Chains A and B, each alone.
Chain A
Amino acid sequence: MNSLRVFFVGGLISYRALFGWLTPAVYIPALILTPIFQILLFAYIGRAAGSQGDEFYVIGNAIQYASVPCIFVMSQTIADERFFQTLGPILISPAHRVPLFLGRALPVIVNALFVAAFALFAGGLILSITFSATSWLRLVPVLAVAMFSCTGLGLITGAIGLRIRETAVLSNVLVGLLLIFCGANVALASLPHWMAEIGRALPLTHAIAAARAVTNGGTLGQVQGLLGKEAALGIVYTVAGFGLIRFMERQSRLHATLERV
């Protein structure tokens, strides 16, 4: 029971305390407007390049941009404990580590789901692309799985943030790599083979393909393979992220580097 409380209540409190972008002055420009501008940028580059239709870029970029809340926020809600000098008290608390850290992931996933859905809606509206109600119903689980797997990657950056200072740089680099590799703007078939293979091992790639399939009339059953791979990647990244947090915690105890900034 206590673990459930730590997971849900503690997770939400930590999220609200440490996610520095919750103020409208940052949230609206960073998580509402910028994804729309990214969609427009790539849709117009696509038109200039004569490569894909607008719908390809609306779906790809709406989902890819949600990696920003997933990765940045997840790393903020863990690594910023050190910045606010609360990491020590957290790590000496008797709370079980799984609900303590994974509880913070749940609000991150919900927020990223909203960011992706809003970008999809607004980007589609501006570029005159409408998704049917059936498509939306099918998109919700696809987006949820995508945000779960990407938050797993965020957990890894959060863990690394327990050791390095430049988490903002690291998060930006990961978001940039996802932009290239996850098929948001360039179909995997148009990438060199080795890049496509890397893309398939990253979060979002399978979910973006699934989202494109369901908006083209595909059913969830038809994309279950893609969703399964995305979910499996999410589990792998989450387990790796949690393992890395425990490793960093042990290392900080061994070397007395907990508060090293």
Chain B
Amino acid sequence: MRTARLLALGWLFHFRMLSQSAFDGFLAILWPLFFATVAFFMFRSGHSVGGLAPVALGAAVMGVWTATSVSASSPLQRERRLGTLELLVAAPSNLATMLLSVCLATSTIGLYCIVATLIWARLLFGIHVPVAHPVSFVLGIVGIVVTIGSLGFLMAVAFVRSRRAWALGAVSEYPIWLVCGFLVPITLLPGWVRPISWLLGPTWGMRAIRAGAFGGDALPDVAMCLVLAAIYIGGGVLLLDTVLDSARKRATLSLT
């Protein structure tokens, strides 16, 4: 119960804080719109036959990863810079829970991106995205927010030894957009990329959202999102324990 409360309050606190940030809030919403606009023009001027609705949906979901990739990769660095990392590690509350709440908050910011991009597509490009199964559609969005937040958590832990983790998070932005099939069908990518995409939760989240929008069974894809999220969280917790043990033994938590 205490863990759930910490997770919920941490999520709410950071979500509200990120919403006020020009970089993590405003820019995270605006940045994918630039790419969405370019993609709309590219598909409109090309001779693709799929229509623009799948493009609008993919572009909308891109924002969830944008909001997460930079912000979630460096929360420990932020705490280290602010001088609060030692306090958090020493606190009786579980650090992994606190960190997970931050990462889920960053991916929740992506909901703004989804709404903003769909409105942008509708108003400026006249693209109407149908929602065939609203419940599946919403489940797909929840699935992708959870799986991306969990992936962000794993990245946050994996990059803990780097003072410049934000750069590692930023460099992952385009590859995830590409490999997870947000705008480009995965079948168009080289064969060796496909197994990688299967290991990434956003791939299944995108499939679930598309199924909810255009018809199809979204539940297996949502289930894959949650399974992969559980694996990311489990891996992240184990890694964090190892890293913290090592930092305590060697007194290297502050990296000074």
Contacts and interface: CB of A to CB of B under 8 A. Distances in A.
Given A33-B171, A49-B48, A186-B42, A169 B27 contact: yes
A176 B31 contact: yes
Contacts of B44: 190
A105 B35 CA distance: 28
B42 A34 contact: no
A99 to B, nearest CB: 32
B177 interface: yes
B45 to A, nearest CB: 4
- Kindly name the residue among A21, A33, A45, A46 whose own CB sees the greatest number of chain B CB atoms within 10 A: A45
Given A30-B170, A176-B34, A185 B42 contact: yes
A26 B164 contact: yes
A33 B174 CA distance: 10
Contacts of B41: 180, 185-186, 190-191
Give the secondary structure class of A's interface: helix
A50 interface: yes
Contacts of A40: 174, 178
Interface stretch (B99-107, B150-158, B180-188, B216-224): B180-188
A11 B180 CA distance: 43
Contacts of B85: none
B170 A47 contact: no
A126 to B, nearest CB: 11
B17 interface: no
Contacts of A180: 34, 37-38, 41
B188 A48 contact: yes
B183 A37 contact: no
Contact of A25 (B30, B38, B42, B162): B162
Contacts, number: 102
Interface in B132-178: 162-164, 167-168, 170-171, 173-175, 177-178
A38 B38 contact: no
A68 to B, nearest CB: 11
Contact of B164 (A25, A34, A51, A190): A25
B45 A44 contact: no
Contacts of A125: none
Given A30-B171, A190-B41, A190-B45, A45 B34 contact: no
A198 B41 CA distance: 16
Contacts of B174: 34, 37-38, 40-41
A258 B242 CA distance: 47
B22 interface: yes
A48 B37 contact: no
A40 B188 CA distance: 12
B47 interface: yes
A26 B167 contact: yes
A128 interface: no
A29 interface: yes
B45 A41 contact: no
A210 B47 CA distance: 26
Nearest to B37: A180
Contacts of B214: none
8 contacts: A25-B167, A40-B178, A45-B183, A48-B183, A49-B45, A51-B45, A169-B27, A180-B41
Interface of A: 21, 23, 25-26, 29-30, 33-34, 37-38, 40-42, 44-51, 166, 168-169, 172-173, 176-177, 179-180, 185-187, 190-191
Given A25-B167, A172-B30, 13 more contacts: A40-B178, A41-B177, A44-B188, A45-B39, A46-B42, A49-B42, A49-B46, A50-B46, A51-B47, A169-B22, A176-B31, A180-B37, A185-B41
Pairs of residues from A and B, 10 with the lowest C-beta to C-beta distance, nearest first: A176-B34, A51-B46, A49-B46, A37-B174, A29-B171, A190-B45, A50-B46, A186-B41, A50-B47, A49-B43
